[in-house]
Amino acid sequence: MAHRFLTLLTDFGDADGFVGAMRGVILSRAPAARLVDLAHHVPRGDVAKAARVLARSAPYFPAGTVHCVVVDPGVGSDRRAVAAAAGGQRFIAPDNGVLGATLDALGGPVEVRIIENPAAMRAVVSRTFHGRDVFAPAAAWLAAGGALEAIGSPAGSLVRLAGTAPEVDGERVIGRVVEVDTFGNLITDIPADGPVAVRIGGQALVGPRPSYSAVPAGALVLVTGSLGTLEVAVRDGSAAARLDLGVGAACVASPAAAESGA
């Protein structure tokens, strides 16, 4: 039988055993599933961050992988629990926008269902821990060979996060910081295509430079991030701390030739 990977992405941290309980539920129902972690220290309830973490990692997994995402500030509300398929992979998540960027990157969903089948959840479902009672068993059900179509009725369109497309104003692109990573790097939504001059937090930077190492330790540097957009970093330091900026901060990019000719 092919390897069947089942990944977990949560905001549960590593201190309480919530992820441990999910792992137990999964391995009781799909003992051959091979568990893999994407991340568990996503900031609590930060769906937009979780969406980026998923988009950064899920596409690299082999076909057949099941991804189980539980960043779910709406647990117990009427938000739906859904299952989706795209690019040969399958996903289990709350319908809160967390899957959007990844499904887009994989060519769009080929099937989206509401999780309704009692066989795909625990017999008693709490109102506070759907990670254990709904999402883990649903992911296990898929990993154990269950058909996506049997998990529930068609879901129609999914909730989308508010768009983050940068604004184009003539030659200028007005974007923003969409993520701050563990290193304090400021990741923007401006595609990195060609030399640019950037203004952010009162600083002017030219780039993208080939790597963080292109500048001395402690200096600001503009690079191309791992998802292909402009990223502002401090070599061996934190750009977020240096510039006192976070998600939502404005970043304006102009073609470097125009800028250098000014």
Which spans of this chain sit near a copy of itself (rule: CB under 8 A)? 2-3, 5, 7, 9, 12-21, 23-25, 27-28, 31-32, 35-45, 49, 52-54, 56-62, 65, 73-77, 126-129, 132, 181-183, 210-214, 223-226, 231, 236
Please say which residue, 7 or 188, places its beta carbon nearer to a copy of itself: 7
- Min separation Cβ 33 and a copy of itself, Å: 10
Amino acid letter at 255? P
- Min separation Cβ 129 and a copy of itself, Å: 4
| Residues sharing a CB contact under 8 Å with residue 148, sequence separation 6 or more, in sequence order | 83, 85, 90, 111, 113, 142
Please say which residue, 14 or 167, places its beta carbon nearer to a copy of itself: 14
- Min separation Cβ 169 and a copy of itself, Å: 28
Task: At 67, list the tokens.
Answer: 């991804």
| Residues sharing a CB contact under 8 Å with residue 105, sequence separation 6 or more, in sequence order | 55, 59
Task: At 224, list the tokens.
Answer: 């191309």
> Tokens 């991804």 map to which residue?
67
Helix 136-143 vs helix 18-29: crossing angle, to nearest 10: 30
- Min separation Cβ 6 and a copy of itself, Å: 11
Please say which residue, 60 or 154, places its beta carbon nearer to a copy of itself: 60
